[in-house]
Structure formats: C-alpha cells, structure tokens
C-alpha cells in the first residue's frame, strides 16, 4: 500500500516536471516559420487552452487529461492523437523490450552460472572478458557492428539471412533485441556469478549433497533457485535500462517503436507527444518496478510485502 | 562384530595460497553397529574434514585425499569427489554445526525433509510430505504440520536442528554423523538435542558418530571416544578408558579443563595454554610438544606411535614407550 502511494507520487512528480520543463523550453510550436493564419492560431490556442494562464488553468487541464488517460493531439502529425501513437507504437517497443529482457535474464543466469561453476577456468575467463566489453561499450556501437555483421553475412551467403533493419517478421526482431539486451545481460552475468559463487559454498548446498540428491536436482532446486534471487531484485532497473536503450536501437534499426517517435518528437518540439510519452514511460516503469517487487516477494519467502 | 564404517590411515590435504594444509594425518577409526562414537578435539583439528572427506563433501580441489582406505559394511569405498554418494541420505545421514545456514532458506521445511524420500524411496510429493510431518513429530517438534509449512527463517536454532535431524533420519540410515550438533545452540537446548539423538538411536538402532569439542558431552552419550589433535588421533578407547583413565597428556589437559557442572555449566573454556601447531608444516615430532607439560627431548624430533595400553585403548605418546622412563631420566 505504501509502495502504491510512492508510485503515485512518483508519477505525479514525473508529470509535473515534464509540464514545467515543456513550458520553459524555448520555442513555440505555433510561432513557426510556417505561417499559420491568425484564425487557425486562435482556434488552436483555444483548443489547447493556450490563451489561458499557465498556472493553474493549463496545469489543471493537463492533469485532468492525464487522469482521464488523454494525452491530446500531436502538434506535428496531422490529426493524430497521442493516445493513438502510444497504442500503435508501444506494442512494438514492448515486444522488442520483452525479448531483450528475456534474453538478458536467461543469458545472465546461464552465463553467470557457467562462470561460477567453471570459476577461474577457461569458460569463466572468456565470458568475464566479454562481460567487461558488454558493460563498457555503449549499445549503439554493438548495433552498428551487428548491422555490419549482418551485411557481411548476407553477402557471403548470397541471400538475406537476416534483414539489416526494419520491422515486420520474426527475423527482424532477433538482432535488435539481442543488441538491446546485451549490456543488461553482461551486467546480470556479473551479478549472477557472484551470487552463484556465494551459493555454491553455502552450508545448505552441503546439506543437499549430504542427502544424496542427484547433482541436477541440487543445481536447479537449491543452487539456481537461490542464486537467481539477486538477479530478480535488479530486474526493475534492468527494465528501465532496456527501455531507454530501446530509443537508440529503434532509431538505428528503423523500428517503428515508441522510442523512435519520442526522439523524433523531441527534435520537432512536438509537446504533446513528448509529454505523453514521458508520462506514459514513467508510469510504465513505476508499474514494472512494483510488479518486480511483488514477484520478488512471491519467490523469496523472507520478504513479505504488507 | 564387524565395523559398519572403518577408516584406515586417512590423510587429507588442502592446497591454499599459503601452502598445503595437512588437515588430516593418518587417521584410523571404526564405528560399530548401534554404538555412539565420539570424536573430540579443539577447533581446527580435522574432525569435520575427516568425515566430510569420507562422504565426498569437501571441495576438491582444493581438497585432496592423499592416503587411506575406507570400508562400509566391509566393502571398500571409492574415495574422491563422489565418495559416499550411494550412501548419502540412505545409509548415512548427516547433521551439521550451524542449523541456521544448513537449510535452504527459500524452501519449506517439509519439502526439504520430503526430498530424500522422493529421491531415494520414490515417494510422491504428497506421501513424502505426510511422512515429513511424522518425522518432525519424531524429532519432537510440537506442531509438526505447521512446522512443515514454514521456512527456515521462521524457526529457532533448536527447532531447525530438530528439522535437520528429521531430514537426516528420513530414509532410516544405519549411521548418523552429527558434526557438533549443539555447538551453535543455547545450553538449555543442547541437552534436549542430545537426549533426542540418544532416544532415536535406541529406537532405530542407529550408529551415531558425534563430533564435538566438549568432553563433557562425550562422557554423557558416547560408548567409545577418539581424541584428535592437529589432524591426528592421539587417544582412543571406551568412554571409561578415555574419560576416566586418560593416558595422553592432551586428554588429561582437556579433562582438567572441564568446568565443574555445578559451578558454571555453560562455560566454554580455552583451557590448555598455547595454540595447536601450524598444519602447513606439521611438527616433525609429537604435535602436542609445544604445549605438553610432560614433553621430553625425544618428543620434539620423533613422532610417537599409537601404543596399545589395554584392549582397545590406544594413545600416541612417548610416555607409554618402554624406554620412557629412561628418556625422561635422560632429560632430567
Ligand atoms: N576448504 C578448505 N580449504 C583449506 N583448508 C581447509 C578447508 N577446510 C578445512 N581446512 C583446514 O583443515 C583443518 C581442519 O578443519 P576442520 O574443519 O576439520 O576442523 P574441526 O576439527 O572440524 O574444527 P571445528 O571444531 O572448528 O569445526 C583446519 O586447519 C582448516 O583450516
Ligand atoms: S609424546 Fe611427548 S610431547 Fe607428545 S604428548 Fe607425549 S609426552 Fe607430550
Ligand atoms: Mg568442524
């Protein structure tokens, strides 16, 4: 309950600061070099309430609309409501993001376990070097490298194994989601390695062995189950990282996701779209963090949410 | 009678950054059906390593069994990473020093007790769980149904150790190895746990190996005793021999250091002056030389052998040697 309240306050804060920021950036969408006739301008101003004082009138309208789930109409795209943009393009981002997080989560747990089990031996050394690369090299570098790689691959094989960019089929999804999940996966691998090492030396693992359980059962029921818990705790921030990383990846791979629209909206000072997406993403992340916390409480009996 | 478990000339080493730790040196020990064997000694003398290496529970590497032969019911056991795998949980149950950390924190107690029954006895989860409840009851837990549904963090140390016992005896093992089962517990609970073990042994005819550093506990429950020092067995025999007629200066020192129960029952003494020798480079002579009040010149450079004093009572000390009198005169 307390968390829920915190979440609501966070969302309110995001909405308000977005509002303040938007009203303080230089520029005005209606005072463009493109001539807008005074009549249209007056109509628009009235429609958006721009003729009234910023506070409290505009702010209250803004808040009321947000509560109703109405983010208004795009300034630059003719006749498109922000809600429609969200509805159309968020699923694209979501599919990409979910794939990336699944990939990062499974990869992190798998590689983290491997490095711990083969501690200080070849697999560990190789993977940990890659992890450092994955954490320190920014995502757009991987994106560019991946595109180069795909081009090379397609050329060598003489047919299009994987598309370089675009959207539509499953094959379009693979590389962008891998690239998007890479940094998070590297981070999770490192986390998983240390927590798995802790678990491997734990007394209760010795107990499990003293019970004569088969190694696979010990691994899955006792080691993996406990070592994965820390990974779950950082899943909230991981989702946030992947969400923001998605902006860049969507641009580079020309994926019609929400991230790309957000970047374009910022470039074009499309206020309603910026505010709408910011508030939407903010809410989304707050909800995700809550969901992750709840999931954690379900998995770890020592944590109980009131 | 044939020994159930017999350890002969076992030596175990660990590779560490500081060098090779000679944790167990030439240890021989046997446990017979139905008896309680106690292994006593100070912290770090190799009690735990002895039994965990037999059961394949020490990490290898860095651990290494360098010598020795172990037999179970007369059959030679394979010693290595998978030592004792066929015996674990079925023939031999184990409980450990720290019950708080010895149970899986994210698994219900009942499920943990049910696990060996599912794996070794092919029981369904439901059958195994209901048997887990009756095992908890046998371990004298008052509300066994409730306990089975709880997680380790919800129970006290004493309760957890009972749960551990219930788990260890789930498949009716012939032997229970209890490695300092009461060290981490309150004094008041210690005797409850010891009573429980004694009672279970009576009813199930189990052999119990009790590892402890409390000679007082030994006198109470053991049939036979082995005293360990610096990786070696320095004296062993029946509880009467070792406790009431100690022959080795170390055992004598341990006994002298026992607090009188009436004065201060819970007192944990660090009785004998000095510390055990460095196991990186075990001394050439007697391991106890540096602390022994009766040390002689011969003790420093020559390791004493185990000398048989009476039937089944042995002690590793030059004092028992035929020439001892001469040697001590020599020193005087
Ligand atoms: N994994 C390991 N790596 C290196 N050395 C070890 C390892 N396990 C045990 N040892 C060493 O082996 C020696 C014997 O340890 P052991 O745990 O058997 O002592 P113990 O008699 O059981 O003592 P305690 O009463 O504290 O349980 C110690 O000196 C310890 O440092
Ligand atoms: S051999 Fe010597 S030093 Fe060792 S216990 Fe006997 S008398 Fe003491
Ligand atoms: Mg020990």
Cross-strand pairs, B30: B6
- Token pair of B319 as six digits: 């004092």
Helical (H) or strand (E) element with A280: helix A271-299
CB under 8 Å to B28, separation ≥6 — which residues?
Answer: B7, B8, B9, B10, B233
Shortest-distance atom of ligand 2 to CA B248: 5
Q: Which of B248, B249, B220, B222 is nearest to B235 (CA)?
A: B248
Shortest-distance atom of ligand 1 to CA B46: 18
| Whether A213 and B116 lie within 8 Å, measured CB to CB | yes
CA pseudo-torsion sign B210, B215, B216, B222? positive
What CA–CA distance (Å, rounded) separates B48 from B61? Answer: 17
Q: Which of B299, B303, B305, B322 to mutate to test the pocket of ligand 2 (most atoms within 8 A of CB)?
A: B299
Q: Which of A113, A252, A264 is nearest to A192 (CA)?
A: A113
CB under 8 Å to A237, separation ≥6 — which residues?
Answer: none
Average pLDDT over residues B197-224: 89
Contacts of A207 in chain B (CB under 8 A): 94, 96, 102-104, 164, 167
Write out chain A's pLDDT in tens, 306 residues.
788 888 888 888 888 888 888 777 766 666 655 566 777 777 777 776 777 777 777 788 888 888 887 777 777 776 788 888 888 888 888 889 999 999 999 999 999 999 998 888 898 899 899 988 888 888 888 888 888 888 888 888 888 777 877 777 778 888 888 888 899 999 999 999 999 999 998 999 999 999 989 989 999 989 998 999 888 888 888 888 888 888 888 888 888 888 888 888 888 878 788 888 888 888 888 888 888 888 888 888 887 654
Distances (CA, A) of A41 to A6, A27, A49, A51, A84: 40, 15, 12, 10, 24
ipTM: 0.86
What CA–CA distance (Å, rounded) separates B132 from A207? Answer: 17
| B72 and B8 Cβ atoms separated by less than 8 Å | no
Q: Give phi and psi for B257, each to the nearest 5.
A: -85, -5
Count of Cβ atoms closer than 10 Å to residue A11 Cβ: 18
Q: Which of B90, B114, B89, B117 is nearest to B104 (CA)?
A: B114
Residue position matching structure tokens 């000072």: A269
Average pLDDT over residues B8-34: 90
Which three-class secondary structure state does DSSP give residue B4? Answer: coil
- Residue B249 CA to ligand 2 center (angstroms) comes to 7
Residue A218 C-alpha, separation from nearest chain B C-alpha, in angstroms: 11
For all residues of chain B together, what is the average pLDDT?
A: 85
Shortest-distance atom of ligand 2 to CA B296: 2
- Residues with beta carbon inside 6 Å of ligand 1? B 14, 16, 21, 23, 41, 43-49, 59, 62-63, 180, 213, 279
| Whether B115 and A213 lie within 8 Å, measured CB to CB | yes
Give the number of A-B residue pairs with CB atoms closer than 8 Å.
78
Calculated CA dihedral for residues B208, B209, B215, B218, nearest 10 degrees: 20
Count of Cβ atoms closer than 10 Å to residue A262 Cβ: 24
Residue A230 C-alpha, separation from nearest chain B C-alpha, in angstroms: 13
- Residue B239 CA to ligand 2 center (angstroms) comes to 21
- Residues with beta carbon inside 6 Å of ligand 2? B 249, 286, 288-289, 292, 294-296, 299, 304, 317-319
- The structural domains of chain A, with segments of one domain joined by +, span 89-305
Which three-class secondary structure state does DSSP give residue B19? Answer: strand
| Whether A226 and B119 lie within 8 Å, measured CB to CB | no
Q: In this predicted structure, what is the pLDDT of residue A306? A: 46
- Residue B21 CA to ligand 1 center (angstroms) comes to 9
- Token pair of B74 as six digits: 């007369």
pLDDT, one tens digit per residue, over B214-256 is: 888 888 888 999 999 988 999 999 988 888 888 888 888 888 8
Distances (CA, A) of A221 to A146, B8, B167: 37, 36, 16
Average pLDDT over residues B256-276: 61
Which three-class secondary structure state does DSSP give residue A37? Answer: coil
| B141 and B159 Cβ atoms separated by less than 8 Å | yes
Which three-class secondary structure state does DSSP give residue B151? Answer: coil
CATH class of A89-305: mainly alpha
Calculated CA dihedral for residues A225, A230, A231, A236, nearest 10 degrees: 130
Q: Which of B263, B258, B264 is nearest to B244 (CA)?
A: B258
User: Considering CB atoms only, which of A203, A209, A212 is closest to B120?
Assistant: A212
| Whether B89 and A300 lie within 8 Å, measured CB to CB | no
Q: In this predicted structure, what is the pLDDT of residue A279? A: 87
Does B53 contact chain A (CB < 8 Å)?
Answer: no
Q: Are strands B75-76 and B63-72 parallel, antiparallel or unpaired?
A: antiparallel
Distances (CA, A) of A293 to A14, A100, A242: 21, 20, 18
Angle at CA of residue B169, ends B165 and B172, nearest 5°: 165
Residue position matching structure tokens 């709840």: A294
Q: Residue count of chain B, please give it.
A: 332
Q: Give phi and psi for A248, each to the nearest 5.
A: -70, -45
| A101 and A239 Cβ atoms separated by less than 8 Å | yes
Q: In this predicted structure, what is the pLDDT of residue B330? A: 38
- Residue B236 CA to ligand 1 center (angstroms) comes to 21
What CA–CA distance (Å, rounded) separates B320 from A59? Answer: 97
**For the purposes of burial, counting CB atoms within 10 Å of the CB of B137, is it exposed (0-12), middle (13-18) or buried (19 or more)?**
middle
| Whether A207 and B164 lie within 8 Å, measured CB to CB | yes
What pTM was estimated for this model as a whole? 0.81
Residue B293 C-alpha, separation from nearest chain A C-alpha, in angstroms: 38
Contacts of B151 in chain A (CB under 8 A): 301-302
Q: Residue count of chain A, please give it.
A: 306
| Whether A213 and B103 lie within 8 Å, measured CB to CB | no
Contacts of B108 in chain A (CB under 8 A): 301
- Token pair of B96 as six digits: 């450990």
Q: In this predicted structure, what is the pLDDT of residue A35? A: 62
Helical (H) or strand (E) element with B314: strand B313-316
């Amino acid at each position: 309950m307390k968390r829920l309240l915190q979440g609501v306050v966070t969302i309110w804060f995001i909405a308000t600061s977005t509002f303040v920021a938007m009203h303080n950036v230089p520029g005005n969408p209606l005072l463009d070099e493109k001539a807008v006739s005074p009549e249209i301008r007056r109509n628009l101003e009235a429609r958006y309430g721009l003729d009234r004082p910023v506070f409290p009138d505009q702010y209250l309208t803004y808040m009321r609309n947000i509560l109703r789930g109405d983010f208004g109409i795009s300034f630059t795209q003719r006749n498109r409501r922000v809600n429609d943009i969200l509805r159309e393009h968020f699923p694209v981002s979501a599919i990409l993001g979910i794939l990336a997080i699944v990939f990062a989560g499974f990869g992190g747990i798998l590689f983290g376990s491997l490095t711990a089990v083969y501690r200080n031996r070849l697999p560990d050394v190789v993977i940990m070097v890659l992890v450092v690369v994955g954490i320190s090299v920014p995502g757009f570098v991987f994106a560019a490298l991946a595109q180069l790689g795909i081009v090379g691959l397609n050329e060598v094989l003489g047919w299009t194994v994987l598309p370089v960019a675009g959207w539509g089929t499953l094959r379009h999804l693979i590389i962008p989601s891998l690239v998007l999940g890479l940094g998070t996966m590297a981070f999770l691998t490192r986390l998983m390695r240390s927590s798995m090492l802790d678990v491997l030396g734990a007394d209760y693992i010795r107990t499990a062995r003293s019970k004569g359980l088969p190694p696979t059962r010990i691994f899955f029921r006792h080691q993996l189950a406990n070592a994965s818990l820390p990974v779950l705790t950082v899943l909230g921030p991981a989702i946030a990282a992947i969400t923001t990383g998605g902006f860049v990846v969507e641009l580079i791979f020309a994926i019609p996701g929400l991230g790309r629209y957000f970047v374009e909206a910022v470039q074009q000072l499309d206020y309603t779209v910026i505010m709408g997406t910011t508030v939407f993403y903010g809410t989304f992340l707050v909800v995700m963090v809550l969901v992750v916390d709840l999931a954690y409480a379900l998995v770890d009996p020592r944590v109980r949410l009131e | 009678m044939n020994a159930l478990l017999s350890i002969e000339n076992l030596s175990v080493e660990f590779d560490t950054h500081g060098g090779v730790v000679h944790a167990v040196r030439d240890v021989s020990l046997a446990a017979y059906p139905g008896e309680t064997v106690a292994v006593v000694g100070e912290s770090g003398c190799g009690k735990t390593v002895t039994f965990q290496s037999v059961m394949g529970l020490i990490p290898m590497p860095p651990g290494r069994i360098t010598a020795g032969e172990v037999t179970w019911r007369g059959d030679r056991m394979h010693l290595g990473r998978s030592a004792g795998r066929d015996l674990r949980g079925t023939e031999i149950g184990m409980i450990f020093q720290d019950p708080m950390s010895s149970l899986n924190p994210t698994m219900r107690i009942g499920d943990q007790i049910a696990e060996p029954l599912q794996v070794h006895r092919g029981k369904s989860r439901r059958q195994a769980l209901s048997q887990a409840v009756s095992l908890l009851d046998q371990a004298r837990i008052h509300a066994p149904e409730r306990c089975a549904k709880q997680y380790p963090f919800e129970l006290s140390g004493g309760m957890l150790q009972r749960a551990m016992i219930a788990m260890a005896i789930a498949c009716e093992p012939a032997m229970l190895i209890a490695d300092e089962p009461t060290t981490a517990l309150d004094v008041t609970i210690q005797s409850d746990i010891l009573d429980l073990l004694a009672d279970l042994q009576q009813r199930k005819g189990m052999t119990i190996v009790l590892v402890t550093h409390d000679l007082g506990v030994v006198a109470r429950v053991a049939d036979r005793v082995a005293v360990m020092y610096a990786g070696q067995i320095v004296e062993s025999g029946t509880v009467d021999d070792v406790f009431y007629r100690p022959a080795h200066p170390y055992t004598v020192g341990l006994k002298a250091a026992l607090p009188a129960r009436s004065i201060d029952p819970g007192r944990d003494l660090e009785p004998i002056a000095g510390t055990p020798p460095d196991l990186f480079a075990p001394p050439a002579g007697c391991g106890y030389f540096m602390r022994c009040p009766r040390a002689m010149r011969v003790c420093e450079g020559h390791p004493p052998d185990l000398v048989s004093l009476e039937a089944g009572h042995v002690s590793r000390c030059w004092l028992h040697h035929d020439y001892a009198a001469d040697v001590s005169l020599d020193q005087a």
